[in-house]
Amino acid sequence: MITLHRLGHPEHELSVNPDLIVTIDANPDTVICLANGSKLVVDETPAQVAAEVRDYRVDVLAGALRARNDGALAQAPATLRLAAPEGGQ
């Protein structure tokens, strides 16, 4: 989740799932359109929102690489193989 602030209420933090963001518009206020049709008006500029999304994704990918390097993913199940139908190849 990324933390943003509602327009006019900088003391109220708003957590947003960046995977749901479809568009970020400046009209002149920043309006974030989500995949479910909701719209949020926030204090941050579109560039700031984009930077928050980028930083979030960098953190997620860095965590995945750390887990891989720590061997945590070595315990993942092997790929399933489909059995051939009876009498088939």
Q: What's the Cα-to-Cα distance from 36 to each of 2, 3, 14, 75, 82, rounded to whole Å?
A: 17, 19, 17, 36, 36
Q: What is the pLDDT of residue 83?
A: 59
Residue 34 contacts residue 19 (beta carbons within 8 Å): no
Tokens representing 85 are 């139908």
How does the average pLDDT of the chain come out, rounded?
86
- Per-residue pLDDT tens digits for 32-58: 999 999 999 999 999 999 999 999 999
Write down the residue that tokens 């500029």 correspond to: 45
Task: Collapse the DSSP code of 31 into the 3-class scheme (helix H, G, I; strand E, B; otherwise coil) and give the result.
Answer: strand
pTM for the complete prediction? 0.74
Beta strand spans in the chain (E):
2-5, 13-16, 21-26, 30-34, 39-42
Q: What is the mean pLDDT of residues 73-78?
A: 56
